[in-house]
Amino acid sequence: MGSGQWTVEKRSSLRNESFAREYENVPETGCLSVIVLGASGDLAKKKTFPALFNLYRQGFLQSNEVHIFGYARTKISDEELRNRIKGYLDKNAANEPSEDVLKFLQLIKYVSGSYDNEEGFKLLDKAISEHEESKKSAEGSSRRLFYLALPPSVYPPVCRMIKKCCMNKSDMGGWTRVVIEKPFGKDLESSEKLSTQIGELFEEPQIYRIDHYLGKELVQNMLVLRFANRFFLPLWNRDNIANVQIVFREDFGTEGRGGYFDEYGIIRDIIQNHLLQVLCLVAMEKPVSLKPEHIRDEKVKVLQSVLPINDEEVVLGQYDGYKDDPTVPDNSNTPTFATVVLRIHNERWEGVPFILKAGKALNSRKAEIRVQFKDVPGDIFRCQKQGRNEFVIRLQPSEAMYMKLTVKKPGLDMNVVQSELDLSYKQRYQGVPIPEAYERLILDTIRGDQQHFVRRDELKAAWEIFTPLLHRIDNGETKPISYQPGSRGPAQADELLEKAGYVQTHGYIWIPPTL
């Protein structure tokens, strides 16, 4: 791939041709080094390394130009790291690693060292430089991607060590980029402090704040749906849309992560980042172009138009049994469930509630966007009892998008029922694998495309919305309501939805179609 262009042979070997076309003609410089910091942790072995392997298997990472370095405090050998991660790389390989897995594992080298000491990072830089020399890359012309699969508390010292010991020379044609995992702070003050510390070391184009929700296939589809389809353009506004729900539900609790979760809660963990990012794509105006900065400009405008949260439009919950976890304090006020109504003060959305809802230990697992339209004026069929039109985008599981609409029930009588126009991905796109979010976002980072990453002013605007509410929760001024595991959450949340104008359809259940 050194010519800067995919060959026909390489393209034909890719599993997902549409995914391949999106990344054709990626400009190349010298060889590529991907450094996974926190290589011995759960995030690295469950998400980062599998994503890198899938990119390798699809031909996006070539063995003759890429090398992968793991770095952590754990004192293990190259082979021990490979043994730790190989079971996560290919779920279809069962106990016997495939040839692709074995070849990929040989690309991984491990370096042990602390996160705040030069010695370990000098060893890391030496290992990277030796790889670059072996590929005959001119000094400073290679690419170095540092993936921080680490807790936020160590971001500043790690970034200082990268800056001091491991930088590539951008003026020689190479680059150094840093991928930072959420959470980006705990409130506005801590986020700004973290941004300032990292911003003093790296320029904004070098910083990639990753939110894996932005890499999900149907989240990526939002811009296409909204701005490439004529029939949505006149409908997507306050005149036609009654409310928008963005929902994240899990049917399990904290499951051994109680101590970590209790430090953040459901709003910091899910709503302030994942769901708010989705809201931006639903509500933003059409950007000037698809250039990353034009898209991110419009997302920031949406966040800056959100009114302060009204406490009367918030319901918090904590499932019974949450505090039984020995790592959770007995007096914990941390919500495991939240429904929050946001209101956008602009010409398009004035008066339309955006309902963000997330919770653990609920009765189902799903993430979806639900756009509910207003009632039909002059309803001659008296079909309002059937429910409203809704456009639903199912993000996970069973990726789909469907329009709930009223139709005549088959038969001699003029009876109406709710049905759907359905695009279910597994049925429509048979045999076409949907890339994992981390695959796409890591590839975007290598490509230098920041469209699906969070910019600093965007992060600040997001924290400005939620910090006052979070401080009231932290201070015990706002308390969660108990709810039973396996339920819909507190009954008050459904009451809030009704007050916000959401009309629930009774008796209708969407069933994913089967072949």
Angle at 329 between CA 324 and CA 332, to 5 degrees: 95
8 Å CB contact between 154 and 115: yes
For residue 490, say if its preceding peptide bond is cis, omega within 30 degrees of 0.
no
Task: List, in sequence order, every beta strand (DSSP E) within 382-431.
Answer: 390-396, 400-408, 416-424
Q: Name the catalytic one among 67, 131, 212, 274.
A: 274
**The pairing of beta strand 366-373 with beta strand 241-249:** antiparallel
Three-state SS sequence of 137-185: CCCCCCEEEEEECCCHHHHHHHHHHHHHHCCCCHHHCCEEEEEEECCCC
Q: Is the dihedral of CA 154, 159, 160, 162 positive or negative?
A: positive
- Positive or negative, the CA dihedral 460, 465, 466, 471 is positive
Helix (H) or strand (E) holding 37: strand 32-37
Q: Which residues contact 492 (CB under 8 A, 6 or more apart)?
A: 315, 481
Residue 231's CB is within 10 A of a number of other CB atoms, namely: 7
- The arrangement of strands across the sheet holding 108-112 comes to 108-112, 66-72, 32-37, 143-148, 175-181, 207-210, 453-454
Distance CA 444, CA 441 (A): 5
Helix axes 437-447, 49-57, angle to 10 degrees: 70
Has 131 been annotated as catalytic? no
With 0-12 / 13-18 / 19 or more C-beta atoms within 10 angstroms meaning exposed / middle / buried, residue 18 is exposed
Alpha helices in 378-455 (DSSP H): 425-428, 437-447
267 near 469, Cβ under 8 Å?
A: yes
Q: Do 28 and 1 contact (CB within 8 A), yes or no? A: yes
Question: DSSP readout, 5-34?
Answer: S--HHHHHT-S-HHHHHHTTT----S-EEE
How far apart CA 502 and CA 488 sit, in angstroms, is 16
Q: Helix, strand, or coil here: 213?
A: helix
The type of residue at 396 is Q
**What is the spatial distance between Cα 285 and Cα 275, in angstroms, rounded to a whole number?**
18
Query: Which residues are the active-site residues?
Result: 274
